[in-house]
Structure 1
Amino acid sequence: MQIRPTPFDHPDAIKLNDAVQLEYAERYADEDEVGEGDLTPLDATMFVPPRGLYLLAYDTSDSPVASGGWRTQDANPEGYSDGDAELKRMYVTPDARGLGLARRILALLEADARAAGRTRMVLETGTAQPEAVALYTSSGYAPSRPKFGYYRAYESSLCFAKQL
């Protein structure tokens, strides 16, 4: 497996983003807006170094199998704090799960955010994503109160943070 920086609007990134959106829609189908996928506004400029980074993992046949990124957040009405780096679009395709790709991508994103001067990594996930919760808690993330982000008012929203 090879992990490389890739623009958020690259066709391979779009392919994986579409896949994760379908998975979100399925997992949260019982909730009103959330059943549509993650509606958090994102654009490619948010992941351009040094204010962010987007990574894709490729298998031996050069197919994209995992993604993840971070973007700069500072104090704002959505509850973020100065110095935050927010994880977005962590995803591993079903066939590539269990290979440690999410953990590898997470470590690379944390190191890059730290090198960019960010002091805390934050993320928002949900109750229908127990695998994500397990990854983050086993990687040193703790529940964050108050909640932040686009879905902070949703009961199913779970927010986590880790000092970098």
Structure 2
Amino acid sequence: MRREAVLKQSGCRHYRSQPTHGIGRYKHLLPPEPDPKKKDKLPRKEIKPSSDHEYGVLNLQVSGYNMILVEHYSQYVHNLCSRLSIKVQECYAKPTKTKEVMLMQEHSTKMFLDAMLTTHERVVQVTGLSSTMAPILMEVLMMNQPEGVQLLVKEHTEADYQVRFKGRPELENLVASMS
């Protein structure tokens, strides 16, 4: 009777026929892992204002049609900022945008699909860029910018934060109908 009571308390038998099994167990010491299906919402960070000699939060937006070029150039921008001791706050990808190019034949009203253009965009968010370092950074970035890749530098706004996420109109309609 005593052995059965001990087995019921522990819940499972880790070693009965093999006494060395279970010696290195440590999972019971770790905190439980969060469910990977549940995604936490990103916390909002306050936007640091700029001063006379230092920029606040800047977005270096890299965009183009070739995903490999865009990805490699954004990595280059990130590594360059790290080497120049410019603090990179965040790097993220924006949702891809697809455009259809339609052509119309001569003497016809019928249009047919010619090409699908996908625009890929990456953002490197930089904070604390000094006004003396900004022209140096921009000159190096523009000298090494590959063909077909656009670089846009602008201050970070709340609208830029919202553009990161894809819209879900079906979910929004359901929430609106429930309330």
TM-score of the aligned structures, taking structure 2 as reference length: 0.27
| More relative contact order, 1 or 2 (CA 8 Å, 6+ apart) | 2
Normalised to the residue count of structure 1, the TM-score between the two structures is 0.29
Give the number of the structure whose alpha-carbon radius of gyration is greater: 2
